[in-house]
Structure 1
Amino acid sequence: MTSTAPPPIDLADPAVVADPYPAFARARAQAPVQWHDGLGLWLAFTHAEAGAVLRDRRLGRIWRDREPAERFGSFNLIHRNAILEMEPPDHTRLRRLISTAFARGHVERLRPWVQELARELVDGLVVRSAGREPVDVLAGMAEELPVAVIAELLGVPHADRPLLRPWSNAIVKMYEYGRTTAVEDAAERAAAEFVAYLRGLVADRRRAPGEDLVSHLVSVRDDSVTAPAQAQLTEDELVTTCILLLNAGHEATVNVSGNGLLALLEHPDQLARLRADPDLLPTAIEELMRFDSPLQLFERTATEDVELGGATVARGQKVAALLGSANRDPAVFADPDALDLGRSPNPQISFGAGVHFCIGAPLARVELQATFGALLERTSRLELGRPPRRRPEFVIRGLAELPVVLTP
């Protein structure tokens, strides 16, 4: 398909990267699903159509190795074996195995530890700020907590934990459009180092299992599968699962923490409302995820021709759900551009939907409630110290720096 029409949204426009929501509103008013020549895919702008993209079984996650394959060996390995890039029956088998390991109480086991860590991190920020100096809440807390939680979950030794976020940061930059060769090379290097590290960790857990998730993933078996070769995770699947948990798990939490705190600072009435009613916190987290989605775009591929929002997505074509646009759809959300921490119902789709709904969503909610709960509990006042700095990427939406003055 070719067209001379301007694209429905320019993802390279710095103004769109800074604030995509006005452009989403204009596009939604034109048509629910539109073709983007530059990206070579369809974009679904409305809640109904984005939801259909995520749920329609004819629209699958069809992984194709990045070419040239010899240049992206490790990057391709960690995606070819990822649950996020699989469809049933492989997806069903892998998700059941991972869910079985998660079901051993890992999330609830960590809840008190996460809450205490959040308090310690906030206390450190408060001491440094003392109601006078702005401190970067992103570096001092939002980036620290989820990496520490995933590392604790997986049983990564404390000395190795500083390795994790740089690897993850480099890998996820491959999901952006308009990448440079240097970005691609850095992603492949990070993937290779991460894979090698986790193979060593898995070998350690085989020899000396513990109570961590890696040990349980090594040992878990799927009783519903009779073929021995399919009864447990392969090593490549196990390594890939650990990388996915870190990349997807912490990137989303970091960015909800940053985007959400900025939204509260820019809406002091809602911040005061949350201080006055801490029981509102679970509802508030859902609204912060809706208001400024940490993941803006999620692609699927048509396995047959699919009618969607008045358009035909032909077999083999890609279509992307624009999650941030769907979460601001006035057909579903009253006054969608307003931040309302008591919004209910709130069918936001930042965690996805359908078979690929985020498997780490319960853990992310624990982390986010601990983060915002500690910020409210350990401070009497929060205010923006100077303008925040946003990361220049569209797909994974987040801040690079959030300077805040915290008063004890």
Structure 2
Amino acid sequence: MTLNPAGRTIETVSLATLHTDAVRRNPYAFYAELHARGPVCAVTPGESRYTFIVHGYEAVSQLLRSPDIRVSDRTRLDFVPTWAEHRTEAVFMNSMFFSNEPRHSRMRRMFGQTFTPRRITNLDPAVVSIAEGLLDRIEATVKSGERVDFMREYAFPLPANVLGELLGVPEEDREWYRPRADALGRLLELGGATQHNVEVANTASVEITDYFAELAAKRREEPRDDLISALVQASDADSGQLSPEELIANLVVVFNAGFVTTTHLLGNGLSMLLERPELLARLRADYSLMPSYVEEILRYDVPTHFSVRQAVNDVEIGGTLIPAGSWVLVLLAAANRDPGHFPDPDTFDPTRPNTSTLAFGGGPHYCMGAALARMEGQRGLQALFERFDEISIAEPPATPRQLMLRGYDELWLNLS
């Protein structure tokens, strides 16, 4: 426990706890301990680059919206002359996900012109159609007497195919893309930047960026009614909006983020409901409840447990002074289990009146695809439950241990 410059005492915790197997299996017990210590904790000095953990709901919300807080961006790499030669660094740092003002607004504005609410709403029939097509295949597999891996046969291809239709990624290429997206995702995990993971991710990044560069060139020659064509045309019309490197990097990151998180929303959500048959029965009896169920799934076990921020000026967050230059670990999943904001936070309750989840972040970096993810979760789960009367887990899945993009690799089901 130390005295913060703001004049308040603040407890110190070790981030090493987050790397233990017990906490990786069940991080929520650790999050509950953090809440008992206040909305902000200091990190043991010298242990990592992080100085603070922010985990209280109001503190996280305040931090994500503060103009004195920024994301990690390419400016921190300017002292490394070769950073752009490492393709994964180049992909991340040329995207709006890892950019601050004014660069962030410039890139987000370009995508906002094409990634519109109207375009998302118009995808509703396509989401249902894609779900029904996947369920037809699953039904044929069931009739042949085989089990079904929900993650491979439904949770991954549903959002990947929806986003593929929106962006213009050909269907035959989407399965090829999945392991390469996984390679990039592993680098975002706490402690994930091992030499092996970096090498694998760089190889995947070369393949993915070359792929999108070729696809963008094709759409430039033969435009279609998709997001890539619209972005290429808009970028060509105003060369100051997106550089070629920024265009490709954002296509990569938007596609990755657009299906990986929804994949785990579907997998985590199904597992939760199968463990609670009384709640599933209530949902089956009234699908108008689906939006509140999906919101509670997102609150209760969000796929993205954390994000990283840095203070550019001294700023007070949750009653604690965060000095300029401090790196902060922002625990979104912990904020969604804050007992000060959500009564009885460890109970899965789709009827709770307050569903103001931070699953999609907040502030200028609020997830652009939040509405699409909600739609896919609602339509995808409803179509599954309407098709199959009996659903059960065929074998216990391996407990997830990742905090970034947390979910199952496989989820084997019995269906009838």
Report the TM-score when normalising by structure 2: 0.90
Out of 101, 104, 119, the residue aligned to residue 91 of structure 1 is: 104
Alpha-carbon contact 1:133-1:385 (below 8 Å) kept: no
Alpha-carbon contact 1:60-1:300 (below 8 Å) kept: yes
Partner of 1:10 in structure 2? 17
Out of 299, 321, 326, the residue aligned to residue 317 of structure 1 is: 326
CA–CA separation in structure 2 for the residues paired with 1:124 and 1:266: 25
Alpha-carbon contact 1:136-1:403 (below 8 Å) kept: yes
SS of the residue 2:41 aligns to: strand
Q: Is 1:210 the counterpart of 2:224 in the alignment?
A: yes
Partner of 2:294 in structure 1? 285
Deviation by residue 1:276-331 (Cα, 9 ceiling, x = unmatched): 11011111111111110110001111101222234332211111221111101111
Alpha-carbon contact 1:270-1:339 (below 8 Å) kept: no
Following TM superposition, by how much is the alpha carbon of 1:133 offset from its aligned partner in structure 2, in angstroms? 5.7
Q: Unpaired segments of 5 or more residues in structure 2? A: 3-9
Deviation by residue 1:194-231 (Cα, 9 ceiling, x = unmatched): 111111111111111110100001122699xxxx542x
CA–CA separation in structure 2 for the residues paired with 1:157 and 1:128: 24
Following TM superposition, by how much is the alpha carbon of 1:71 offset from its aligned partner in structure 2, in angstroms? 8.5
Q: Is 1:358 the counterpart of 2:372 in the alignment?
A: no
Following TM superposition, by how much is the alpha carbon of 1:94 offset from its aligned partner in structure 2, in angstroms? 1.5
Q: Is 1:192 the counterpart of 2:201 in the alignment?
A: no
SS of the residue 2:413 aligns to: strand
SS of the residue 2:330 aligns to: strand
Q: Unpaired segments of 5 or more residues in structure 1? A: none
Alpha-carbon contact 1:267-1:339 (below 8 Å) kept: no
CA–CA separation in structure 2 for the residues paired with 1:360 and 1:213: 13
CA–CA separation in structure 2 for the residues paired with 1:171 and 1:61: 18
Alpha-carbon contact 2:17-2:23 (below 8 Å) kept: yes
Partner of 1:65 in structure 2? 77
Partner of 2:88 in structure 1? 75
Percent sequence identity is 35
Q: Aligned residues, how many?
A: 402
Report the TM-score when normalising by structure 1: 0.92
Q: 1:395 to 1:35 in 2, by over 3 A?
A: farther
SS of the residue 1:395 aligns to: coil
Alpha-carbon contact 1:34-1:43 (below 8 Å) kept: yes
Amino acid paired to 2:30: A
Alpha-carbon contact 2:392-2:413 (below 8 Å) kept: yes
1:221-370 alignment to 2 at 5 Å?
229-230=239-240, 232-370=241-379
Following TM superposition, by how much is the alpha carbon of 1:47 offset from its aligned partner in structure 2, in angstroms? 0.4
Q: 1:218 to 1:308 in 2, by over 3 A?
A: same
Following TM superposition, by how much is the alpha carbon of 1:157 offset from its aligned partner in structure 2, in angstroms? 2.2
CA–CA separation in structure 2 for the residues paired with 1:242 and 1:72: 19
Alpha-carbon contact 1:53-1:320 (below 8 Å) kept: no
Q: Which moved more, 1:65-74 or 1:15-24?
A: 65-74
CA–CA separation in structure 2 for the residues paired with 1:294 and 1:368: 13
Q: RMSD across aligned C-alpha pairs, in angstroms?
A: 2.5
Amino acid paired to 1:350: A
Amino acid paired to 2:358: I
Alpha-carbon contact 1:47-1:326 (below 8 Å) kept: yes
Partner of 1:177 in structure 2? 190
CA–CA separation in structure 2 for the residues paired with 1:222 and 1:229: 5
Alpha-carbon contact 1:131-1:406 (below 8 Å) kept: no
SS of the residue 1:390 aligns to: coil
Partner of 1:168 in structure 2? 181
